[in-house]
Amino acid sequence: MVEVGSKNREGQVGLESDAVYFGETFDELDMPGALTESSEFEDCTFSGGHFSESQFVGCKFVECRFEGSDLSVARLKNSRFTDAKFSDCKLTGIDWTALSWSAVTLSAPFVFQTCDLSYSTFSGLKLIELIAQDCKIRDVDFTECDLTGSDFYRSDLLGSRFYRSIIEKCNFEESVNYVINPLDNSIAGSRFSHPEVMRLLEPFNIKVDGLD
């Protein structure tokens, strides 16, 4: 384990640039607006951290966990995630397209559980088997994404945009407020729950007997 970092006012370890962290646990780091460049984090846990409007530039996160942390409007330019998990995190307003993406992506590099992803963009990304369960996913841009096999179980997708997207074999069971046009997106093999599934008929301007 490489021990690096600087103490903040409360005596906690901060994050340094050009550093390597392995197996570290960072509790309640208070670093809004901070800049961290070219650092590597492997098997690290970030718990209760405040990273709103922070910048992680050229950083690498491998098998890291973010729990109860605020990364709203964080900038992740040229950074890379591998097998990262976010739970109970605020991740609003993030441009995930700014990450460094491998030319060959076997599966989505992160998992979201009980997170707020609102006002973010994933436009044009290949996110095979993305997991975003019990999340608030409002006004998110999934235009031209490949979301094959993704799991949006029990998530709120109000105002999110799907256009020319591959949404095959996805799980939308108990999710709500989605608007997906079957004429503009590929949805073969996906699972939906009643009555929300009736939203798929809206583009056809038809009525179904027995339904209001």
Task: Quote the mean pLDDT of the chain.
Answer: 90
Measure the CA–CA gap between 97 and 71, rounded to whole angstroms: 16
Provide CATH 2.160.20.80 ranges for the chain. 16-90, 104-212
Torsion angle in degrees (nearest 10) through CA of 163, 169, 171, 177: 20
Length of the chain: 212
Strand order in the sheet with 40-42: 20-22, 40-42, 60-62, 80-82
Structure tokens at 212: 């209001």
**What is the fold, at CATH topology level, of the domain defined by 104-212?**
Pectate Lyase C-like (2.160.20)
Model confidence at 50: pLDDT above 80: yes
Model confidence at 6: pLDDT above 60: no
pTM of the model: 0.88
Measure the CA–CA gap between 70 and 146, rounded to whole angstroms: 27
Model confidence at 26: pLDDT above 60: yes
* Helix boundaries (H) for the chain: none
Measure the CA–CA gap between 80 and 180, rounded to whole angstroms: 30
- One-letter amino acid for residue 124 of the chain: G
Measure the CA–CA gap between 81 and 59, rounded to whole angstroms: 9
Give per-residue pLDDT as tens, 68-106.
999 999 999 999 999 999 999 999 999 999 999 875 566
Give per-residue pLDDT as tens, 150-183.
999 999 999 999 999 999 999 999 999 999 999 9
Bond from prior residue into 195 cis (ω within 30 degrees of 0): yes
Supply φ then ψ for residue 28, to 5 degrees.
50, 45
The SS3 of residue 43 is coil
What local confidence, expressed as pLDDT, does residue 186 receive? 96
**What is the fold, at CATH topology level, of the domain defined by 16-90?**
Pectate Lyase C-like (2.160.20)
Give per-residue pLDDT as tens, 176-204.
999 999 999 999 999 999 888 888 887 77
